[in-house]
Chain A
Amino acid sequence: MPTPTLTQTLVIALIQAILVVIFIFVIVPLTIYAERKVLGHIQLRLGATRIAGTHTGLTGLVNRSMWKLGKVPVLAYWRGIPMLVGDILKMILKEDVRPTKADRFVFFLAPSLSFVAAVMAFAAVSFVPGTFFTFPKWVPLVGGLPLSGGMADVNVGLLWILGIASVGVYGIVLAGWASNSKYPLLGSLRSGAQIVSYEVPLTLSLLAPVLMSGSLQFSHMATTMATGLPFWGIVPQMLGFLVYFTCGFAETNRLPFDMPEAENELVAGFHTEYSGMKFGFFYLGEYINMAVVSALAAGFFLGGPWLLPFGLQGLVNPYLPAWLGQPCALFFVVKIVLLLFVFIWVRGTIPRYRYDQIMAVAWKYLIPLALVNLLLAAMVRYLAV
């Protein structure tokens, strides 16, 4: 295998970045669409249906005859799809209002910070360990070279993700301050305090995979957690997964921890004064953060690119057919999608906590649980070696 030159390395990195961005921008609008549909069905509605004509044309004929038969039309389930385009067009084309007393520079900086931080966290996520695919010979400049499964699968990948995620807090806090208005300031302080508090149990619960795998590299951790553990490795992983995922809900400001959007108390929290694409960046940032949280949970607890979660892959590997024993990026994506569905499912099921309850959950329950989990992980590590 030839060693790539600097230009080739950069071109490959660029291709990887483009692939990841395409992945993000495919999965995020679909999540938004799925959220409308799933929430609708949880509440015994159809969700988004009203974009195409309901009673005219060929689709209208199908619909009308199905209503006559006493059935909900099949097409009604899918008709909300053009709404995706409508949503995006609305965000881009809407008038961009800036309050007169707002701090111009910070008001512009805040949404971009929160969006960029969310996207940059994906750099250290490895979709499949080792090579994802090799470029064919006929490709100019990079023919015959491998494209690895992670953009920057560095030695300190987990720390990078946590660090970049903590930079994302600035987006929320600065947005509230720059709006120069009471509700956004209160909302941003509240959600800033919430995110800073929940970072503690989140990091503690992620220390268990670090302890059990002895590494901070994403692909190495995913490999060890999926295949390299003895039987009782499952126990701390279950607990750690629940603690981590709960903190993930709080970190991404989703229900039941969506303090910024407690509209009966604070209008819309930190993004009250934002409109148009600036609001869109906050909106997209939230969904990308959900994807990052899901990717970490899928990678460390649900077996990453392997089939079976919680270290079971290492136990039953000899009994699996050969093609199921191999890592595959598709499994990883399927797990991310499944966890995104759980995000929506919980939103439709559990009501919002009060603010003091949120803080109590973080400091009184989740941190002790995360410490117990860490102790269990240490015991597994001790018994395994």
Chain B
Amino acid sequence: MESLLLKIGQNLFLIFAVMALAGAAVMVFARNAVHSVIGFLFAMLSVAGCYLSLGAEFMGVAQLLIYAGGIVVLFLFVVMLVELSKAREARRFQGQTPFALLLVGAGLVAFVGIFWQTIFGASATEPLTLSQNLVSHGETLGNAQMVSRGLFAEYLLPFEILSVILLVALVGAVVLAKAERV
């Protein structure tokens, strides 16, 4: 019993990863767009489980809150309101197949190279550690506190620039939508 539970606990990441892949497969292959969104939601929840099983609880819960709770809801709204049957009949993606295959091949080569390096390369033997100035404050900090210290103390400028970029995207979307209406 004990050893079985231990084994399951050690392989939790693999279980969640397989679930995430299954969700992603459902998303790609489902005929119905809403079923795709449900597969996407399942994949996002499983990725949150992956983070939790790796001990990154803040990442996991943020994944749950932002992707599963926010972004996929917007996907669902759009999919529900847009009539997709006509778009399927038009078959507008025919000309892109060779380019898509080429890009997928390039991406596959890059990812396999990275995985090869991480599993068999030099970095596989030494464990990843946090940046020293994040952990050297003497006290044992929680996950959320460490992330916030990193974001708002060590890397404040990049973080603020990122948020400005997001704001620009937001304003741009509003401007585009307004122009269409007139």
Contact = CB atoms under 8 A, between A and B. Distances in A.
A177 B61 contact: no
A189 interface: yes
Contacts of B171: none
A160 B64 contact: yes
Interface residues of B, number: 29
A212 interface: no
Given A103-B32, A106-B35, A174-B34, A163 B61 contact: yes
A154 B35 CA distance: 33
Interface string B10-49: 0000000000000000000000101100100100010000
A156 interface: yes
A165 B6 CA distance: 31
Contacts of B32: 103
Interface stretch (B68-76, B111-119, B129-137): B68-76
B142 interface: yes
B76 A105 contact: no
Interface string A137-152: 0000000000000000
Given A106-B34, A159-B62, A164-B64, A173 B73 contact: yes
Contacts of B35: 105-106
A185 B76 CA distance: 12
A163, A166, A167 — which one has the most chain B CB atoms within 10 A of its CB? A163
Nearest to B1: A7
B144 interface: yes
B9 interface: yes
Contacts of A169: 69, 73
B2 A5 contact: yes
A109 B2 CA distance: 34
A170 B144 contact: no
Nearest to A159: B61
Given A106-B35, A177-B34, A155 B9 contact: no
Contacts of A159: 58, 61-62, 64-65, 144
A6 interface: yes
A166 B35 CA distance: 19
29 contacts: A6-B5, A7-B2, A103-B34, A105-B35, A155-B142, A156-B57, A160-B64, A162-B65, A163-B65, A163-B68, A163-B69, A165-B69, A166-B65, A166-B70, A167-B45, A167-B68, A170-B41, A170-B72, A170-B73, A173-B80, A174-B34, A174-B38, A177-B76, A177-B80, A185-B80, A189-B80, A189-B81, A192-B73, A217-B142
Interface of B: 1-2, 5-6, 9, 32, 34-35, 38, 41, 45, 57-58, 61-62, 64-65, 68-70, 72-73, 76-77, 80-81, 142-144
Given A162-B65, A166-B64, 17 more contacts: A6-B2, A109-B38, A155-B57, A156-B57, A156-B58, A156-B143, A156-B144, A159-B58, A164-B64, A166-B69, A167-B69, A170-B72, A170-B73, A174-B34, A174-B76, A177-B80, A189-B77
